[in-house]
A and B are shown apart, each in its own frame.
Chain A
Amino acid sequence: MLAIETDSLTKKFSNITAVDKLSFSVEEGEIFGLLGPNGAGKTTTIRMLACVISPTSGTANVGGHDLLKEPQQIRRNVGILTENPSLYEKMTAVENLDFFARAYGMRDQVAISDRIKELLEFFQLWDRRRERVAVYSKGMKQKLAIARALVHDPPLLFLDEPTSGLDPESSKLIRELVEKLGRYERRTILLSTHRLEDAQKLCNRVMIINRGSSKVIGTVNELRSRMAGHPKLEIVMTKIAPEGVVKVRSIKSVESVEVDDVTGRMVVEAEGVQAVAPYIVKVLVDSGSMIVDVHTVLPSLEDAYLALVNGGIKV
């Protein structure tokens, strides 16, 4: 079942088209990554789907509710981590969470208190629950903002840059939480991020958007191979014989050869590189090269992302 389905979602601000006819769908229980450079339209997309702003044209169905006709139902089902932590700094962590729990319709004081305790303990903020948020560090505010998104236990979570500004330990905590919420609790998570590492580790599928429109959607592995090409062969040598390089270049299936004399590294791109690898090694050894290491390198999501965003690849 689809948790989110957008249909030509478009948002214009005066003359600027922030999101341009965006159509995509997210399965229930899926962690779906939204990748793109600054100004690509990620935040605007999330704001529209959370019914914070309305689309200029197009529509969407979020959690079984129509974006234009049933915004209140959507707001009730969505927990959102906004671009800014959006916390009331003169109030304490408990006061912030209590307000939002009630704003999302929770009324039972015991249930609210239990939920707040559970979240603050998880995010290691319980000991500082009575301090005003103004004295919190950036990382603590980010954790509290995520706790706020979860306070009403929503089936859909929209997280805009959840690990931004966090130290490695906190980032890991958030990644594990997102994984738990998505993989094990089957919540649908829309994750906008700059950190490709997060997308690679967490997302079932990602969509790369640029200038408001979708460039490509797929699993991380699909994108890697589609966008950044095949695996490459990397050979590290202590001595590189020039005639060996010439011979490798002349092999029929070899598409490109890059040699770095300083590091002794040679990168070979070829059709079916693993099949041709033994032959390349033989040619190099026969011509007097001294090989230390041979391995295949998979293109990273970053390669794919950069290739796409920099316009190196047309989709």
Chain B
Amino acid sequence: MSLENAMLVFRKDWREMSRNMQIVAPIVIVPLVISVVLPLIVILVPTMLSIPGSSFSNSAALLQSLPADVQAQVVGMSTVQSLTYVFAVYFFAPFFLIIPVMASSVLAADSFAGEKDRKTLEALLATPLTDGDLLLGKILVSFIPAMLVTLLAFVVYTVVVDFGALGLFGRFILPNGLWLAFILLVTPAVALAGIGVTVIVSLRVKGFREAQQLSALLVLPILAIILAQVGGALFFGLTMLILMLVGFALLDVAVFYIGIRLFKREDILVKSV
């Protein structure tokens, strides 16, 4: 395996992907919604609070159900400040798991299964590039852009929240240590899990769509985390961060172990015909 050859595969795949709207559109739109639309909701909270009968009017009960350490952080804040703070800093964090898993699985599905669809595999497999070169190049082309959009979305989210809520707090509330650890440690582990699962799925299916549909199932555990938080069973914090990190790291090890064992150039071609 050589890094030079892996980067050759990376550049080739990136050229193809960046010119494919089917790939670019979801990778741009989903982070945009999460990083711009969500903070706008936060900023609109004060307006909503004034609507009689809205769920936000029952905010006292919501704030009381928060874990003690979070409640301690909002001590001394007004109701509007507390709600804005809790939403911006805690409630919306798990949505940021969707970006790396979605982006990495779309990219990996195109890189691995897309070559089957487009019948470009045979010429590629006839070259002296090794299985390791191909696998590393394709993992990198799925991982690097997925992490770039995740980081970019985080920066946009931070800027929108900070400037949107500057009038309310008189200071910037993001990023904090928890978010930085979350974005720098948990989201890469999630992106890798997305890639690992998609590699395994791609080796078994005929094309991009099938691979993407199966990999999309990865969003389910993330939705479960979001719903668990809405229901009050979980709350974004250090414990949850450690649990997610350990959970996804274990998943990464498992899927990469299986993926690398299954990745044989011949099988990919034969199963595509």
A residues neighboring B (CB under 8 Å): 13, 47, 50-54, 72, 75-76, 78, 80, 82-84, 86-91, 95, 99-100, 102-105, 132, 145, 148
B79 within 8 A of A: no
B8 within 8 A of A: yes
A105 and B123 CA atoms in complex are apart in Å by 15
Query: Assuming the A-B contacts A52-B125, A100-B123, A100-B127, are A89 and B118 also in contact, with contact meaning beta carbons closer than 8 angstroms in the complex?
Result: yes
Query: Do A82 and B270 have beta carbons less than 8 Å apart?
Result: no
B81 within 8 A of A: no
Query: Do A90 and B19 have beta carbons less than 8 Å apart?
Result: yes
Residues of A with C-beta under 8 A to B120? 86-88
Q: Lowest 6 CB-CB distances: which A-B pairs, in order?
A: A86-B123, A103-B127, A90-B19, A75-B128, A82-B122, A84-B119
Residues of A with C-beta under 8 A to B126? 50-52, 75, 78, 80, 82
- Nearest Cβ on chain B to A4's Cβ, whole angstroms: 16
Residues of B with C-beta under 8 A to A80? 122-123, 126
A80 and B122 CA atoms in complex are apart in Å by 9
- Nearest Cβ on chain B to A106's Cβ, whole angstroms: 11
Residues of A with C-beta under 8 A to B16? 88, 90-91
16 A-B residue pairs with Cβ-Cβ distance under 8 Å, sorted by A, are A52-B265, A75-B126, A75-B127, A78-B126, A82-B122, A82-B126, A84-B122, A86-B123, A87-B123, A91-B19, A99-B12, A103-B5, A104-B127, A104-B128, A105-B128, A145-B123
Contact with A along B3-43 (1 / 0, CB 8 A): 00100100110011001100000000000000000000000
Query: Do A52 and B128 have beta carbons less than 8 Å apart?
Result: no
- Nearest Cβ on chain A to B113's Cβ, whole angstroms: 15
A290 and B157 CA atoms in complex are apart in Å by 98
Residues of A with C-beta under 8 A to B80? none
B69 within 8 A of A: no
Residues of B with C-beta under 8 A to A84? 119, 122
What is the chain B residue whose CB lies nearest that of A72?
B128
B269 within 8 A of A: yes
Query: Do B12 and A83 have beta carbons less than 8 Å apart?
Result: no
User: Given known contacts A80-B122, A99-B8, what 12 new A-B pairs fall within 8 Å (CB)?
Assistant: A47-B122, A52-B266, A52-B269, A53-B266, A53-B270, A54-B266, A72-B128, A82-B123, A86-B119, A86-B123, A87-B120, A88-B120
Residues of B with C-beta under 8 A to A51? 126
What is the chain B residue whose CB lies nearest that of A82?
B122
What is the chain A residue whose CB lies nearest that of B129?
A103
Query: Do A13 and B118 have beta carbons less than 8 Å apart?
Result: no
- Nearest Cβ on chain B to A128's Cβ, whole angstroms: 17
Contact with A along B237-273 (1 / 0, CB 8 A): 0000000000000000000000000000110011000
A103 and B269 CA atoms in complex are apart in Å by 18
